Amino acid sequence: MKQLLDQPEYSFLKTDKHLGDNIILLGFGGSYAYGTNNEFSDIDLRGVALNSANDILSDNKFEQIVHNEQDVTVYSFDKIIKLLCNCNPNVIEMLGLREQDYLILKDEGRLLLDNKSLFLSQRAVNSFGGYANAQLRRLENKSARLVDQAGMENHILQTICHASYDFASRYSEFPDDAIRLYLDKSDRPEYDKEIFMDINLHHYPLRDYKGMMSEMGEIMKNYSKIGKRNTQAIEHDKLGKHMMHLIRLYLMCFDILEKGEIITYREKEHDFLMSIRNGAYLDDNRQPTPEFYEIVDEYQNKLNLLKLYTHLPKDVDRKKINALVAEVNMGVILDDDELLQNYMYGGTL
């Protein structure tokens, strides 16, 4: 695997102007990262590249480089910090790989690993919970044995609640009880229950209100697309893989909330996860069994309890993270001799 990067199809990692020596961390993603790969698994790579000195001192910044053919994504240092602060599951797992699963790990990458606890907060409840909820919805469609209409409506509600967790950081402040969403009996003949809302806002910016409502509406709109995606997943026998990743998300979140640890490679649960992937919880119609949904309910209840008792802070310490970012970025600037000489002799940066 260490020789993987020497293959011609990965040459862009050396030749792209944003990558090359700027890459400070590169490791496996997907099934190889979780230890749930099989003979058919593709190799995914995920990494981080430093912003150049010119990037740091100007608005000429890149966010990420995506190479779809080889399934490689490399985030800029600035972008990865923002995603890590939100405990984004797809990037937080990059800090919890086994040592041998990093193909590139420079000093700045090691600094990220050594300070990974800075990025752990109660945001994990909603970030991982939101991803798990989305994964659960992929398993449910109207053409199979699924939850009833009221149950489906509840999943929509939970998704909206997860998505609205960070409204306070993106929109004008409002009291916790100003917008209340809940399920109740519906007067519509096609619904048993539906989502209702109570709103108590005064002197609130209309644009911010419109933004929040648009996000909630988009979730409800996208819900209608789930059936087609899941039918394709069933046809291609990928349902077991979706089920496995749902459980894995919960397990990773439990480690974060209980132990303050990021454990991406699931060695202890390997056999359990692989049994799910290989169809142990699918019935004769290739649909999830009631036993599987019982496990999901148990894990969701545990997540709700951990949310109340975790020792993690409500949010990350921005001052400490800013200090880490400043340390790394200052090192980049000081290492750029040409830029410093231009500056010292009156040139332009």
Q: Using DSSP, how many helices (H) and how many strands (E) does the chain show?
A: 16, 7
Residue-level pLDDT at 25: 97
Query: Measured between alpha carbons, how far is 35 from 269 in angstroms, rounded to an integer?
Result: 10
What domains can you pick out in the chain, each with its CATH number? 2-119+317-344 (3.30.460), 123-309 (no CATH)
Residue-level pLDDT at 228: 47
CB 96 within 8 A of CB 264: yes
Question: Which segments of the chain have a pLDDT < 70?
Answer: 1-2, 137-148, 165-166, 169, 223-237, 337, 339-349
Q: Is 102 strand, coil or helix? A: strand
Residue-level pLDDT at 76: 93
Reported as a single tens digit per residue, the pLDDT across 239-287 is 888 899 999 999 999 999 999 999 999 999 999 999 999 999 988 877 7
Q: Is 200 strand, coil or helix? A: coil
* Percent of the chain topping pLDDT 70: 87
Reported as a single tens digit per residue, the pLDDT across 260-273 is 999 999 999 999 99
Query: Measured between alpha carbons, how far is 258 from 43 in angstroms, rounded to an integer?
Result: 30
Token pair for 109: 């990458």
Q: Which residues contact 133 (CB under 8 A, 6 or more apart)?
A: 155, 158, 159, 162
Query: Measured between alpha carbons, how far is 190 from 168 in angstroms, rounded to an integer?
Result: 34
Reported as a single tens digit per residue, the pLDDT across 147-181 is 567 777 887 887 787 777 667 767 888 887 899 99
pTM of whole model > 0.85?
no
